[in-house]
């Protein structure tokens, strides 16, 4: 039933960001550009009272009388100048950023053609960049194919795309974007009547206007209720033979534009060359699931296999564990060291593969990390395997860079004790590896379940109640890749806030809202620039500025996303001081909302307890004294004692 109801989801079309100078010269232009890939971001015109300018304002488009302000905007792809003046043209070309293109006095039809050409050109540039990364070992073949499908859907305004490869006498699905499971199950024989047979015979693009029509042959049943109405198949050729098919599912049931067809033919030719490089057809499947550098499984296959193994574990009520391995050199590597890391990773991968069971699934994950799925293995078994790996791998040396020890940290998490979902299990294992690295070199850490549990306050549970927050948690997870402490701190503040709520006998709803506010209390920091990210000298006080305004920014974002005043209050007031010296200004004592006072205590406690990498963790009784020192000044004394009682309770 799930397959039949799974409809393809349309992907966001790649847009061209446009600025218009002199819109009043062409009052109907905004209407004529509706539905195209041109996204009007700014308008400059001397007559701000003109109806076309008022229309732009109503649509939320940035409007100004100063056209030099528009010209210098860094995020515009295209400037359309409708003022027939050579002086204006000269100024535009002098002031515009190098990447911004300019068109003078163009018609809407010309703009649309220009838009298609610019979109295709930009997509091909990105694909060539991905090809370079693949050839140098920083991207595997499967990931490259997925990127090509993404570019095809965005550039050609398609609902979905797929890649089928020919294996002897049939076409086998390998990669897809936006495709329901029912369509992915389509593996037609070359001789089966339908579009794939026609493709093999004619070796030219095949267009199917209705996927539910008789032209689909045996493939018709796979497309029922898929939401994909039309199909374009582009042949992938290699040495004059059909190696596969690039399938595109247009959003509109009309034959694709000539430019789109030409673009997809270029992509198909590129895929043919890449797949030919990947080896014989019989080896393609193996190449698509293996990391080219280490020979272990790649991250795409690993995540698919993790989902499958978790389903099997749940079905048979058997345990499953995950190990996450990170490496740190004894000293920071210079550029020469980085060039030598590849043979080291290959050696580590070979040693790893020889140290585990045949049923285990090892993979290279991220750039220099590894992960291992351990089927039918509980926490104690995972620790036994981790100790064996630690003994064998921690003695490895980087070839050609001297006798430099490499420190290994291993994190372990198990199903069902520590997580029930694939992403949650992987995140918990990675967090455990991070915690192990803080304890010193060559350490193992099992996910810490002995402490207070979140009890339904995981990101997965929260997003079931507030689906709109999934984007926020995705952003939090993305930032945690560069600094795992971000995710750890958010998780622990949520935990301690919920603990204080329990101690105060607050309602389950209040406890849940406090936990969510704990997860998101630093949301405003994610919306502000990094103080080390190329900031100009005049912004040298940025960290202080961020500390002052990030609660306001975070509260504003949440207020526009969810209807929960308690969560917003907690985020807004978590830097308010009990004595009135914090922010927002003039908030003091019990006039500060309870949510803000609770988060302030939870936030302060975890910052005191947790040292960053390289510093020892402070014992809890020292932190309790530091908390009490702040009671009455920054923190609510009653809530400080609540947290201490809850933590020390047997």
Which pLDDT score, from 0 to 100, does residue 236 have? 87
* pLDDT tens-digit map of 603-650: 998 888 765 434 445 556 677 888 888 988 899 999 999 988 887 765
Where residue 619 falls (left for φ over 0; alpha for ψ -120 to 50; beta otherwise) is beta
Residue of 251, 202, 256 whose CA lies nearest to 227: 251
- pLDDT the model gives residue 63: 92
Average confidence (pLDDT) over 515-536 = 66
Average pLDDT over residues 306-326: 91
Which pLDDT score, from 0 to 100, does residue 436 have?
A: 78
- What would the pLDDT profile of 556-586 be if each residue is shown by its tens digit? 888 888 888 999 999 989 988 988 888 776 7
**365: exposed, middle or buried (Cβ count in 10 Å: 0-12, 13-18, 19+):** buried
Region of poorest pLDDT, from 48-57, 113-122, 404-413, 565-574 = 113-122
Which neighbouring-strand residues pair with 81? 21, 104
pLDDT at 569: 92
Contact 82, 21 (CB under 8 A): yes
Q: How many CB atoms lie within 10 A of CB 12?
A: 7
**In angstroms, what CA-CA distances link 598 with 190, 394, 602, 636?**
66, 43, 6, 8
> Which tokens sit at 620?
């809890």
Q: With cut-offs at 50, 70 and 90, classify the pLDDT of residue 598.
A: very high
Cα 548 from Cα 100, distance rounded (Å): 36
pLDDT digits (tens, 9 = 90+) for 282-293: 445 555 677 878
- Give all strands of the β-sheet with 443-446 in edge-to-edge order: 361-365, 369-375, 320-329, 406-415, 443-446
More confident of the two residues 197 and 108:
197
Q: Mean pLDDT in the chain?
A: 78
Q: What backbone torsions phi and psi does residue 621 show, to the nearest 5 degrees?
A: -70, -30
Contact 270, 152 (CB under 8 A): no
- Residue 283 has a CB neighbour count (10 Å cut-off) of 11
pLDDT classification of 127: cutoffs 50, 70, 90? confident
CA-to-CA separations, 550 to 133, 207, 223, 478, 567, in angstroms, rounded: 37, 53, 48, 19, 15
Confidence of residue 116 (pLDDT cuts 50, 70, 90): low
Cα-Cα-Cα-Cα torsion 40, 46, 47, 53, nearest 10 degrees, comes to: 10
Q: Give me the pLDDT at residue 13, please.
A: 47
d(CA 432, CA 446): 6
The three state secondary structure string of 515-530 is: HHHHHCCCHHHHCCCC
Question: What's residue 12's pLDDT?
Answer: 40
Range name among 17-26, 337-346, 507-516 with the lowest pLDDT average: 337-346
What is the model's pLDDT at position 187? 83
Mean pLDDT is lowest, of 67-81, 165-179, 403-417, for 403-417
Q: What percent of the chain has pLDDT over 90?
A: 12
Q: Which two tokens stand for residue 538?
A: 């005049």
pLDDT tens across 437-460, in order? Answer: 766 788 888 876 434 445 557 787
| Average pLDDT of span 1-19 | 50
Interhelix angle 508-519/594-609, rounded to 10 degrees, is 50
Cβ neighbours, 10 Å, residue 88 = 17
Pairing of strands 38-44, 16-21: parallel
> Which residues fall within 8 angstroms of residue 622, CB to CB, at 6 or more apart?
none
Q: Is 298 exposed, middle or buried (0-12, 13-18, 19+ CB in 10 A)?
A: buried
The whole-angstrom separation of Cα 19 and Cα 81 is: 8
The pLDDT of residue 528 is: 55
Helix (H) or strand (E) run with residue 244 in it: strand 241-250
Res. 319: pLDDT tops 90: yes
Candidates 207, 169, 205; CA nearest to 188 is 169
| Position 421 pLDDT exceeds 60 | yes
The stretch 489-502 carries a mean pLDDT of 88
Query: What is the Cα–Cα distance from 430 to 445, expressed in whole angstroms?
Result: 10
Distance CA 15, CA 119 (A): 8
pLDDT category at 62 given cuts 50, 70, 90 is very high
Q: Which domains does the chain have, with CATH numbers?
A: 16-106 (3.40.50.720), 141-288 (3.30.450.40), 315-450 (3.30.70.270), 454-650 (1.10.3210.10)
CB neighbour list of residue 378: distance below 8 Å, 6 or more residues apart: 319, 321, 414, 417
The predicted-structure confidence for 335-387, as pLDDT tens digits, reads as follows 444 455 677 788 888 888 888 888 899 999 877 789 999 999 998 899 999 98
């Amino acid at each position: 039933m799930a397959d039949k109801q799974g409809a393809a989801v349309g992907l966001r079309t790649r847009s061209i960001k446009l600025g218009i100078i002199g819109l009043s010269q062409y009052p109907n232009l905004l209407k004529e550009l509706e539905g195209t890939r041109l996204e009007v971001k700014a308008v400059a015109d001397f007559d701000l009272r003109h109806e076309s300018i008022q229309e732009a304002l109503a649509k939320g488009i940035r409007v100004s009388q100063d056209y030099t302000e528009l010209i210098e905007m860094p995020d515009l792809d295209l400037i359309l100048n409708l003022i027939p003046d050579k002086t204006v043209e000269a100024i535009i070309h002098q002031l515009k950023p190098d990447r911004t293109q300019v068109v003078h006095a163009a018609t809407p039809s010309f703009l649309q053609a220009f838009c298609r050409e610019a979109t295709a050109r930009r997509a091909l540039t990105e694909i060539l960049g991905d090809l370079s990364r693949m050839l140098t070992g920083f991207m595997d073949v499967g990931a490259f194919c997925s990127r090509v499908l993404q570019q095809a859907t965005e550039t050609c305004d398609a609902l979905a795309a797929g890649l089928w490869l020919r294996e002897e006498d049939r076409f086998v699905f390998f990669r897809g974007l936006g495709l329901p499971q029912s369509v992915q199950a389509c593996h037609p024989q070359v001789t089966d009547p339908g579009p794939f047979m026609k493709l093999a015979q004619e070796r030219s693009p095949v267009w199917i206007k209705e996927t539910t029509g008789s032209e689909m042959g045996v493939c018709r049943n796979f497309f029922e209720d898929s939401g994909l109405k039309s199909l374009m198949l582009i042949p992938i050729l290699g040495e004059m033979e059909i190696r596969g098919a690039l399938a595109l599912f247009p959003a509109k049931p009309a034959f694709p534009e000539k430019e789109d067809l030409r673009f997809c033919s270029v992509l198909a030719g590129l895929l043919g060359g890449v797949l030919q490089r990947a080896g014989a057809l019989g080896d393609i499947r193996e190449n698509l699931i293996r990391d080219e550098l280490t020979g272990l499984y790649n991250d795409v296959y690993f995540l698919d296999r993790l989902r499958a193994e978790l389903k099997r574990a749940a079905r048979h009520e058997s345990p499953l564990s995950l190990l996450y391995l990170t490496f740190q050199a004894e000293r920071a590597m210079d550029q020469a060291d980085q060039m030598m890391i590849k043979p080291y990773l290959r050696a580590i991968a070979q040693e790893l593969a020889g140290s585990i069971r045949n049923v285990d699934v090892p993979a290279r994950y991220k750039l220099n990390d590894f992960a291992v799925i351990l089927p039918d293995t509980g926490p104690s078994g995972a620790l036994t395997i981790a100790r064996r790996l630690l003994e064998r791998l921690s003695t490895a040396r980087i070839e050609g860079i001297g006798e430099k020890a490499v420190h290994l940290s291993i994190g372990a998490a198990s199903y069902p004790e520590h997580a029930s979902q694939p992403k949650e299990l992987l995140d918990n294992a990675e967090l455990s590896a991070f915690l192990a690295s803080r304890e010193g070199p060559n350490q193992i850490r099992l996910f810490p379940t002995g402490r207070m549990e979140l009890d339904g306050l995981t990101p997965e549970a929260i997003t079931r109640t507030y689906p709109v927050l999934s984007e926020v948690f995705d952003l939090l997870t993305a930032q945690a890749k560069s600094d795992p402490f971000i995710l750890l701190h958010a998780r622990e503040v949520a935990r301690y806030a919920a603990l204080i709520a329990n101690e105060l006998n607050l309602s389950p709803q209040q406890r849940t809202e406090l936990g969510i506010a704990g997860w998101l209390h630093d949301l405003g920091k994610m919306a502000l620039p990094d103080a080390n990210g190329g900031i100009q000298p005049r912004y040298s006080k940025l960290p202080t500025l961020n500390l002052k305004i990030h609660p306001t920014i975070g509260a504003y974002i949440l207020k526009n996303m969810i209807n929960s005043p308690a969560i917003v209050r907690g985020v807004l007031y978590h830097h308010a001081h009990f004595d009135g010296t914090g922010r927002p200004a003039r908030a003091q004592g019990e006039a500060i909302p309870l949510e803000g006072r609770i988060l302030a205590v939870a936030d302060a406690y975890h910052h005191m307890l947790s040292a960053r990498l390289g510093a020892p963790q402070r014992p809890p009784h020292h932190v309790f004294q530091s908390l009490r020192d702040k009671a009455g000044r920054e923190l609510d004394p009653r809530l400080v004692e609540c947290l201490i009682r809850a933590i020390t309770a047997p």
